[in-house]
Amino acid sequence: MTSGKTARQDEISQAIDLSVHENRIVYIETQGESIEDIMADIASVYEGDLDHATENDGSYDIWGWPGGDSEMEWRINVTLTTE
């Protein structure tokens, strides 16, 4: 039985789960064309508010929280690759 998620959505979902459970930033590399692609995949697997910032090295610091005035729930750092 498949979850209906793409491989990248599964990878992102696992990184978010690890960040929540270990209370730390999780670093991943994944294929993608743009931050918009990644944010769309995150929005499809996480029901909360999202934000991101571009780091000096070109990676993206992305975090989420349940909404409203809640504190950050998780944080991942994503480096986009072309292969």
Q: What is the largest CA-CA distance in the chain?
A: 41
- Predicted TM-score of the model (pTM): 0.89
Find out whether 55 and 61 touch, Cβ atoms under 8 Å: yes
Query: Cα torsion for 70, 73, 79, 82, to the nearest 10°?
Result: -90
Q: Give the strands of the sheet with 25-31, arranged side by side.
A: 25-31, 74-81, 60-65, 49-54
Per-residue pLDDT of 23-77, as tens digits, reads 999 999 998 889 999 999 999 999 999 999 999 999 999 999 998 888 999 999 9
Radius of gyration of the chain (CA): 12
**Domain locations in the chain as residue ranges:** 7-81
Q: Tell which wins on pLDDT, 78 or 83.
A: 78
